[in-house]
Amino acid sequence: MRELTYSEAIREALAEEMARDPSVFLIGEDVGVFGGVFGVTQGLLDQFGEARVLDTPISESAIIGAALGAAMMGMRPVAEIMFGDFLPIAGDQIVNQLAKARYMSGGKANVPVTVRVTTGAPGSAAQQHSQSPEAWFMNVPGLKIVTPATPADAKGLLKSAIRGDDPVLFFEHKMLYAERGDVPPDPDFLVPFGEARLAREGAHITVVAIGGMLRHALRAADQLAEEGIQLEVIDPRTLVPFDLETVVRSIEKTGRLIIAHEAHKRCGAGAEIAALIAEEALDWLDAPIVRVAAKNVPIPYAPALEQYVLPSAEDIVAAAHKLALPLRIR
């Protein structure tokens, strides 16, 4: 093992898959000469050349559509959409074409398209550059939704996405790019979809922490441990498919559930997870499910407003305190 940043882990996954399979190529805005607005694809143009690292015009719809068409003809494109906020510009190509191509063609179309896209608020980027749109697409059957929270998962999940034959929306949280962590050097290191990771064991409250919220959940867990409240932190890693079993197993132990995500609360991924738990594991719950999420307003520019709207480690601590109250009574 060696330490890499989340950003380096993604770059390594891209380079390894491009070296391994000549049908893998990159397509997106400023992915080549500029090296990606967040620097993730730096050096790949030099390594693989212009024929496989394609800088495009500012044309999100054409980027996704071209990736889809090339995939149907046997290529394995990795498209980049700079900000998740811009996904709706390619809305038809994602929702009506990419997601449905396999099903509506009766299985004739193979759709190995990976869409790398950034998510989350980087701080004072305001309404159109701060959103977390994962759940917009969870309601669209045909798409797989991946939310890596660590460098190792970023690498292993991205490789699984590229090697897989289904369209994947791969959400990279902007605030995680500089995070460091151990990453296995094995070029065949893959993280399978639909397997959550137990990020921290604990007896009292289960926290399902998505993407950028994982680090906040772990910080909250450290803080609460000092008071004797143990959080069990689960990183689902993929939202579609979702590893319900791991969450249920944890709730059987804790009886309490917090779901934390940076997306807005209303109809965020937490709504679906809470519904699944209500359907499958209500009997195990000793307290209402609590969602820690962004408030239902657009993400504001001013730091004072933005911090008020976005969920934080402190919000997880407060939610845990609320749930821990009956614990103490017992």
Determine phi and psi for 37, rounding to 5 degrees.
-60, -25
38 part of the interface to ligand TPP, by CB under 6 A = no
Residue 85 in tokens: 């906020």
136 part of the interface to ligand TPP, by CB under 6 A = no
CA dihedral 184, 190, 194, 195 (to 10 degrees): -30
Minimum separation from the CB atom of position 262 to other proteins (A): 15
Q: Is 190 or 313 the residue whose CB approaches other proteins more closely?
A: 313
Measured CA to CA, the distance from residue 249 to residue 253 in angstroms comes to 7
Determine the interface stretch with ligand TPP among 82-90, 134-142, 168-176, 204-212 (rule: CB under 6 A).
Answer: 82-90
End-to-end CA distance of the chain: 44
In a 13 Å sphere around the CA of 209, the CA atoms on its Cβ side amount to 28
Interaction site with other proteins (CB under 8 A): 29-30, 33-34, 37, 55-62, 85-86, 89, 123-129, 295-298, 300-309
> Binding ligand TPP by CB under 6 A: which of 26, 82, 176, 257?
82
Measured CA to CA, the distance from residue 158 to residue 190 in angstroms comes to 8
Q: Which does 74 bind (CB under 5 to 8 A by kind): ligand TPP, other proteins, none?
A: none
CB 161 within 8 A of CB 155: no
> Binding ligand TPP by CB under 6 A: which of 58, 104, 275, 297?
58
Minimum separation from the CB atom of position 307 to ligand TPP (A): 24
Q: Which does 55 bind (CB under 5 to 8 A by kind): other proteins, ligand TPP, none?
A: other proteins
Beta strand pairing call for 168-173 and 144-146: parallel
Minimum separation from the CB atom of position 32 to other proteins (A): 8
Minimum separation from the CB atom of position 50 to other proteins (A): 10
Minimum separation from the CB atom of position 80 to ligand TPP (A): 11
Q: How many residues does the chain have?
A: 330
Which positions ≥6 away from 195 have C-beta within 8 Å? 237, 238, 243, 246
Q: Is 130 or 238 the residue whose CB approaches other proteins more closely?
A: 130
Q: Which does 285 bind (CB under 5 to 8 A by kind): ligand TPP, other proteins, none?
A: none
Q: Is 37 or 72 the residue whose CB approaches other proteins more closely?
A: 37
29 part of the interface to ligand TPP, by CB under 6 A = yes
Q: Which does 302 bind (CB under 5 to 8 A by kind): ligand TPP, other proteins, none?
A: other proteins
Measured CA to CA, the distance from residue 7 to residue 1 in angstroms comes to 17
> Binding ligand TPP by CB under 6 A: which of 15, 62, 72, 89?
89
Q: Is 198 or 305 the residue whose CB approaches other proteins more closely?
A: 305
Q: Is 277 or 290 the residue whose CB approaches other proteins more closely?
A: 290
CB 263 within 8 A of CB 133: yes
Q: Is 105 or 307 the residue whose CB approaches other proteins more closely?
A: 307
Minimum separation from the CB atom of position 326 to ligand TPP (A): 47
129 is catalytic: yes
Active site residues: 129
Residues in contact with ligand TPP by the rule CB under 6 A: 29, 58, 60, 82, 86, 89
